[in-house]
Structure 1
Amino acid sequence: MERISLSNSAFEGANNAYLFAGAETTLIDTGDWLSETREQLEAGLANHGVGFADVDRIFLTHWHHDHTGLAGEIQAESGADVYVHRADAPLVEGDRAAWEELFELQEEYFEQWGMPEPDRETLRDRIVGPDETASTPTVTPIEDGDTFTVGSTELEVVHASGHAAGLCLFAVGDEVCSGDALLPVYTPNVGGADVRVDDPLEKYLRALRTVADADYDRAWPGHRDPIDDPAGRAKHIVHHHEERAYRVLDALDRIGPCDTWTVSADLFGDLEDIHILHGPGESYAHLDHLERAGAVVSEGGEYRLAAGVDDELETIDDGRWPLES
């Protein structure tokens, strides 16, 4: 397997595409549809003696543009089969009804979170559907547990919902292509990155525990450099979310009953660009998870601590609230 690094202006850092050359040329993720990315991917493939027309199969970790953008163009040149989890398939194929449903759901959450109108307008300008001038692929849906032969080894699909409804890991022997489920520097956003996910934090914690239990030798993430201790990184991110849960509860304790936008402002301050979506989205994911656990109560879009939780907070000395799966 060869890693091809592709430029990305987003804060997560450079995207990765992964090449398996051989009897059947296979790619995991393709980068976005920008001309610069296309040139980089073509050059990276050429370094290994292949081009777009030689690609037989493409596996996509999830629907976000920076992972799927060139899949349609490659398929148009090569006839490659494109695989993505069934939950993300309509968005990747550019299904207009699926995109409209996503946009409508986002608007519902903007209202529920208490997002000010100017910030909603910023996001409407920032969040776009499929590029009408770009090719979108026809995809084959995949499910958790599906297996494929790649070269001399087996690729197994591991559904890891949370950051996106259809996000999948691809386990290859003792290693794993982790997409955005496990990143080496940033923690993937939950709650805002895909508002279709119900109970997103619980699902993401479950995915992290799956990675920890599998004890892979190495993870190849969707952004930046390989992770040499995937289990350790997964456990670290779980601890990060326990610290964030404590901060959410502490905010409610200090501020009193308030909406998601207010909690987000306390956690992250003023937000710009796509972070206007990610900040309240992550805050909502935690508030929703804590409400399901009985630590928080909500009414009319406002959250408050459940009875007795303020006393429990006073007994915590490590700044972490346990998040049970």
Structure 2
Amino acid sequence: MHTPIRIELPTLFGMNTVNAYLFLKPEPVLIDCGEQTEQSWKTLNKALAAHHLHINDLAKVIVTHAHVDHIGMAGKIAKESNKTEIWVSEYAYNWATNPQGMNEIRQGVIQEYLKLFPQLEGSPLQQMFNSAYKLMAAAWGDIPPEKIRKFTKDETLHFGQHEWQVIYAPGHCNHQTCFYQPNTQQLLSADMLLAVTPTPVIDVTLEPPYQREKSLHQMIASYQKFAQLEVSTVYPGHYTPFDNHREVITKQLNRITQRKTECLKHIKAGTHDFMALLEKLYGTNFNIPALPMLVGYLDLLASEDLIKAEKTDQGIKYFAV
């Protein structure tokens, strides 16, 4: 069995590193490629050199999803190489061809949503969001359009001397795909299956009119789909590979249920404000992922008719039904 070669690339964000996976035969193929930074570029070149390869030897870079830590360096690779193609799914294609435009759309939807919570205006959390957005924009290079190839969820991809099924896996984001090899039971899980619960980012719908997705709903559905697969080894987008995918899924689903129940308990006890709920669940030193997680819990509770949201002069308030 040909196992992927894990390359840990540095990232500007909280995960410390992001995984790219190298397959050598029948041609060099890279799954994901990190951010466009000097440190990441040097790390990737050093890793390739360890296998007697250069950037120009890569036949293709296949991107799991269009987040900067997975696609940011694709443009630089494509420009530096005479032959490397950048493969993206039908869901990520708009992000690959127009990253600035799509990020502006997403940022606009996020800002409109955050206006529902006036307490966030000018808060350290909003400042962190703005800083992260600037970092992301600086580390995401444009890909030459002629180097981009689009694949669909119904295709089979050929790399690593095997045929890999494309699995659409929304949740962390709605343009994420994973790759499954049924004979070897290997799963390239991107940010769908991680050792810790991935964040369901505040995302926008795939097509206009762009609206906010209910990402945690999608994540739960994807977990249930992945639990049906027979998997020997998971190769995640961050952290080390693991072999107990159902145990990981069960643990993370239970964690979501637990935190959703805690959220409802606080609302019933009289905590109706979004920022106050954040502090109840995460303390005063919460970071950016805390916000979309709470958004997801509130979405779940509302869809189960356990809470209702009311607009007030102080923003949205949440009450138990």
Q: With structure 1 as the length reference, what TM-score do the two structures score?
A: 0.85
For 1:268 and 1:172, the matched residues in 2 are separated by: 38
Paired residue total: 300
1:102 aligns with 2:106: yes
- Give the AA of the match of 1:157: V
1:96-147 per-position Cα deviation (integer Å, ceiling 9, x unaligned): 3322211111101211244422222442233135338944353333332321
Task: Name stretches of at least 5 consecutive residues in structure 1 with no aligned partner.
Answer: 307-325
For 1:181 and 1:133, the matched residues in 2 are separated by: 21
Q: CA deviation at 1:221?
A: 0.5
1:268-317 per-position Cα deviation (integer Å, ceiling 9, x unaligned): 12246xx23x22211111111211111111122221111xxxxxxxxxxx
For 2:204 and 2:52, the matched residues in 1 are separated by: 40
Stretches (4+) displaced over 6 A: none
- Give the AA of the match of 2:130: R
Contact kept? 1:56, 1:78, Cα under 8 Å: no
Q: Describe the shift of the 1:122–1:51 C-alpha distance in structure 2 as closer, same or farther (beyond 3 A).
A: same
1:155 aligns with 2:164: yes
- Give the AA of the match of 2:309: S
- Counterpart in the other structure of 2:91: 87
Q: CA deviation at 1:241?
A: 0.4
- Counterpart in the other structure of 1:165: 174
- Give the AA of the match of 2:301: L
For 1:17-96, what aligned pairs fall within 5 Å after superposition? Answer: 17-76=20-79, 77-96=81-100
Correspondence for 2:129 among 108, 123, 143: 123
- Counterpart in the other structure of 2:208: none
- Counterpart in the other structure of 1:136: 143
Q: Describe the shift of the 1:93–1:3 C-alpha distance in structure 2 as closer, same or farther (beyond 3 A).
A: same
Correspondence for 1:212 among 227, 231, 241: 227
Query: What secondary structure is seen at the aligned counterpart in 2 of 1:171?
Result: strand
- Counterpart in the other structure of 2:298: 287
Query: What secondary structure is seen at the aligned counterpart in 1 of 2:14?
Result: coil
Q: CA RMSD in A?
A: 2.1
Q: Describe the shift of the 1:206–1:25 C-alpha distance in structure 2 as closer, same or farther (beyond 3 A).
A: same
- 258-267 or 46-55, which deviates more: 258-267
Q: CA deviation at 1:78?
A: 3.5
For 1:231-246, what aligned pairs fall within 5 Å after superposition? Answer: 231-246=246-261
Query: What secondary structure is seen at the aligned counterpart in 1 of 2:158?
Result: strand
Contact kept? 1:56, 1:79, Cα under 8 Å: yes
- Counterpart in the other structure of 1:179: 190
For 1:126 and 1:5, the matched residues in 2 are separated by: 21
Q: Describe the shift of the 1:125–1:269 C-alpha distance in structure 2 as closer, same or farther (beyond 3 A).
A: same
For 1:191 and 1:290, the matched residues in 2 are separated by: 18
Q: Describe the shift of the 1:132–1:60 C-alpha distance in structure 2 as closer, same or farther (beyond 3 A).
A: closer
Contact kept? 1:191, 1:285, Cα under 8 Å: no
Q: With structure 2 as the length reference, what TM-score do the two structures score?
A: 0.86
- Counterpart in the other structure of 1:315: none
